[in-house]
Amino acid sequence: MRYYLVAGEASGDLHGANLMKAIKAGDPQAEFQYYGGNKMQAEGGTLRKHYAEMAFMGFTEVLMNLRTILRNMKACKADIVAYNPDVLILIDFPGFNLKIAEFAKRQGFKVCYYISPKVWAWNQKRVLKIKRDVDKLFCILPFEVDFYRAWGMEVDYVGNPLLDEITLFQPDLLFKEKYRLEKEVIALLPGSRRQEIERLLPDMLSITEAFPEYQFVVAAAPSFEETYYRQFIKSDNVSLVFGQTYNLLYHSKAAIVASGTATLETALFHIPQVVVYRGGRISVAIARLLVKIRFISLVNLIMDREVVKELIQEDCNTSNITTELSAILSGDSRSKMLADYAELSAKMGGPGASERVAKLILSYLSL
């Protein structure tokens, strides 16, 4: 069968590649065409557009790049029609993919959506459009099943694909030796987008002098050169590693993490963390009007209570980061967070998300 996938970010590329691998196990004749990245390309098929040309963050950034987004959307629609797949598989990236779902459904294509749009966060009535345009929705957060059921929509909870990655991970026991890390490590995860890095990394680095007994290590995104990161680093107590985030977390005492998927990864590695976020002033002002959730980190959202401290906008500063990091390096706050992480892991279930999604899609196509 012919599969068309649309992934618009690095995480979608990873999950798309794993899903393609699982689909090939059940359908050896599978053919793929997709918007994605290097990981999906390594699984075969035809890459039509790289996600690096598609990812824009925040309300103002989207508006500034609207012409490019609309051009990408038009090209994607035309490509789907030309390829005429047996099924369209949309992976996360809701601002783009929900429009593609609406178009594809009108054209009579079967539409599957892997990694539910976060419609529970704002404008919940978008569920009605998803119900209309998506044939099969696969969720990776346990609370989403009840949310959609309340809107009269049955969905499949397939587990979280992060569990697959973490289960497969084999730590490099010589990691600290290779990078000459002689002290206990505090990981800095400032994100993978330029806007995130430039807004958050200076705040993260501003606390390093207050913790001379620790080595700070930045998880650098492979899409940037070392010289880019070096412009922010003023201390000898800060190191860089590229493409080694899981090894870094495994060997860390604690972490400071940009809000996003990395907060859940850090928790699943049972590393105490402080979550930070800074957005554009206008984007954040709009979000505060629209977003109706109590928390921004996946850890707190899944647990439905504050497990990790979230420092947002003006609260993301040297003083607050120093205070919160100090609290989780030892003592009751650290013990409490680790206990909450154990409960979180139990809620998340086990690995195998990609295989479950592939089986569900193949079963649906066989009807």
Question: What are 117-161's pLDDT values in tens digits?
Answer: 888 877 788 899 999 999 999 999 988 999 999 999 999 999 998
Is pLDDT above 90 for 70?
no
Is pLDDT above 70 for 354?
yes
Instruction: For residues 6 and 51, state if they share a domain.
Output: yes
Instruction: For residues 317 and 184, state if they share a domain.
Output: yes
Question: What is the phi-psi region of residue 300: left when phi exceeds 0, alpha when psi lies from -120 to 50, beta otherwise?
Answer: alpha
Q: How much is the mean pLDDT over the chain?
A: 91
How confident is the model over 191-206, as pLDDT tens digits?
988 889 999 999 999 9
Q: Can you give the C-alpha Rg of the chain in angstroms?
A: 21
pLDDT at site 252? 98
pLDDT at site 226? 94
How do beta strands 214-220 and 238-242 pair? parallel
Instruction: For residues 150 and 294, state if they share a domain.
Output: no
How confident is the model over 267-312, as pLDDT tens digits?
999 999 999 998 755 444 444 544 556 888 999 999 999 999 999 9
Domain count, the chain: 2
pLDDT at site 260? 87
Instruction: For residues 6 and 131, state if they share a domain.
Output: yes
pLDDT at site 185? 98
Instruction: For residues 232 and 291, state if they share a domain.
Output: yes
Q: Region 57-68: what's the mean pLDDT?
A: 60
Instruction: For residues 144 and 267, state if they share a domain.
Output: no
Q: Region 248-276: what's the mean pLDDT?
A: 96
- As a whole-number percent, the residues of the chain with pLDDT over 90 amount to 77
Rounded CA separation 117/100 (Å): 13
Instruction: For residues 148 and 251, state if they share a domain.
Output: no
Q: Region 93-99: what's the mean pLDDT?
A: 92
Instruction: For residues 142 and 281, state if they share a domain.
Output: no
Q: What is the pTM of this model?
A: 0.80
Q: What is the 3-state secondary structure (H, E, C) of the chain?
A: CEEEEEECCHHHHHHHHHHHHHHHHHCCCCEEEEEECHHHHHCCCEEEEEHHHCCCCCHHHHHHCHHHHHHHHHHHHHHHHHHCCCEEEEECCHHHHHHHHHHHHHCCCCEEEECCCCCCCCCCCHHHHHHHHCCEEEECCCCHHHHHHHCCCCCEECCCHHHHHHHHCCCCCCHHHHCCCCCEEEEEECCCCHHHHHHHHHHHHCCHHHCCCEEEEEEECCCCCHHHHHCCCCCCCEEEEECCHHHHHHCEEEEEEECCHHHHHHHHCCCCEEEEECCCHHHHHHHHHHCCCCCCCHHHHHHCCCCCEEEEHHHCCHHHHHHHHHHHCCCHHHHHHHHHHHHHHHHHCCCCHHHHHHHHHHHHHCC
Is pLDDT above 90 for 256?
yes
Residues 143/301, Cβ–Cβ less than 8 Å? yes
Is pLDDT above 90 for 53?
no
Instruction: For residues 109 and 138, state if they share a domain.
Output: yes
Instruction: For residues 110 and 76, state if they share a domain.
Output: yes
Domain range for residue 226?
168-348
Rounded CA separation 84/102 (Å): 16
- As a whole-number percent, the residues of the chain with pLDDT over 70 amount to 93
Residues 306/295, Cβ–Cβ less than 8 Å? yes
Give the domain CATH number at 58.
3.40.50.2000
Instruction: For residues 182 and 49, state if they share a domain.
Output: no
Instruction: For residues 212 and 278, state if they share a domain.
Output: yes
